[in-house]
Amino acid sequence: MRKLIAGVDEAGRGPLAGPVIAAAVILDETKPIEGLADSKVLSATRREELAQLIRERALCWALGRAEVEEIDRLNILRASLLAMKRAVETLSLSPELVLVDGNQAPELGCSVQTVVRGDASVPAISAASILAKVARDAEMGELDRHFPGYGFSQHKGYPTPAHREALERQGVSPVHRCSFAPVQRLLIRPR
C-alpha cells in the first residue's frame, strides 16, 4: 500500500483584507489530473475547471482558514500556518507525510516537509494551491457584495492602486487587516 501524502498550500498572505485560506489534498494516483500547476499561472476559468476535477478525483481534500482577527493577533505567517494545520486536521484520511509549499510548515502529528516552489513542482501541492485560490477568490466576491465600493471581486484584497484609493475614500472596513501597514496608517491618521 502506498503512503498517503498530502499537499498543502495557502492563498491570501499578501492582501490587505479577507481571510487566509489553506487547502490540503491527497491525490488518488489511479485518477490523474492533467494540467495541475501553480494557481497563479492559471486563468480563473482553468482554475475553476481543475478545482472541480480535484474535488471529484482526489482521495480527500479539505480547507482551513484564519480570519482577519487571527491574522491581526498572530501575524500573517502564524495565521497561514494555523490555516494549513486546520486544513490537514480536517482531512477525512490521515496523511503519513505532508508536503507544504514554501519554507515554513505547521506543526502536525505526522512527518512534514517543506518544498520551495512546490506549487509548481509537486502535483498535490499544485492541487492545494488551486483549491485554496478558488475558495478565497469566491469568498472575496462575497465580501464585495457585503462591502461594496472596495472592488474586492477584482483585486481580491491585494494592495492595488484601486484598492488603496478605495481605502482612502471609504475608510477601513471590518474585513481589512488592521495590522498591515497601509491599513494601520489610515487608522492612526487623524481625519
Domain boundaries along the sequence of the chain: 5-188
47-97 per-position pLDDT tens digit: 999 999 999 999 999 999 999 999 999 999 999 999 999 999 999 999 999
| pTM of the model as a whole | 0.95
CATH number 3.30.420.10 given to 5-188? yes
* Rounded average pLDDT over 20-44: 96
Looking at every residue in the chain, the average pLDDT score rounds to: 96
Q: d(Cα 27, Cα 57) in Å, to the nearest integer?
A: 7
Task: Give the residue-averaged pLDDT of 124-128.
Answer: 98
Q: What is the pLDDT of residues 179-190, one digit of tens each?
A: 999 999 988 865
Residue 1: predicted pLDDT: 61
Q: Cα torsion at 138, 140, 142, 143 (round to 10°)? A: 170
Cβ-based neighbours of 137, under 8 Å, separated by 6 or more: 11, 44, 47, 156
- pLDDT (tens digit per residue) in 3-20: 899 999 999 999 999 999
pLDDT at 191 over 60: no
- CA–CA gap between residue 36 and residue 58 (Å, rounded): 13
pLDDT-derived band at 2 (thresholds 50, 70, 90) equals confident
Whether pLDDT at 122 is above 70 = yes
Task: Give the CA distances from residue 115 to residues 29, 66, 140, 164, 189, in Å, rounded to whole numbers and listed in that order.
Answer: 20, 22, 28, 33, 41
